[in-house]
Amino acid sequence: MVKPMVVGGLMGVTMLWMLHGAVTGDGVGLWAAVVFVAAHFVLAALIVAAAVFANRLSPAARRVLARVHRPSARHVAAMFGAAALVVTAEHFGAHGFGGV
C-alpha cells in the first residue's frame, strides 16, 4: 500500500500546484490543469477502446489485457486519501490555518 500512497501524495501536490496557478491567474497553472484533465480523458478512452477490441476481435489482446494492472477500490481510496492529506498539509503549511 506504500506505492499508491506515494503516487497519491505526488498527485495531490501536482493538482494543488495547477489549481493554485489557475486561481491566482498564472496561465501555466490553468493550461497545466486543462492538459492534465484532457490527458486522463484520452487515456480512459484508449483503455475502453482496447477493452472493446480485446473482447470482440482479438484473443491475443485479451490475454495481454488480462495481465494489465487494474487497481482495486482499496488502491484508489489509498491514492485519493493520500492526495487529500498531502494537499491539506501543504496548504496549511503555506498559508497557515487562518489563510483558508
The pLDDT tens digits for 36-81 are 788 889 998 998 888 888 778 888 877 877 787 777 889 889 988 9
Task: Judge whether 89 lies within some domain.
Answer: yes
What pLDDT, in 10s, does the model give residues 30-41? Answer: 777 788 788 889
Task: Judge whether 76 lies within some domain.
Answer: yes
- Report the C-alpha gap between 28 and 16 in whole angstroms: 13
Total of domains in the chain: 1
Task: Judge whether 59 lies within some domain.
Answer: yes
- Domain containing 80 equals 2-95
pTM (2 decimals)?
0.58
Task: Judge whether 100 lies within some domain.
Answer: no
CA distances 92 to 7, 20, 67, 69, Å, are 21, 14, 41, 34
Task: Judge whether 75 lies within some domain.
Answer: yes
How much of the chain is in helix, strand and coil states, percent to nearest 5? 85, 0, 15
Q: Are the CB atoms for 69 and 59 separated by under 8 Å?
A: no
State whether residue 58 is helix, strand or coil: coil
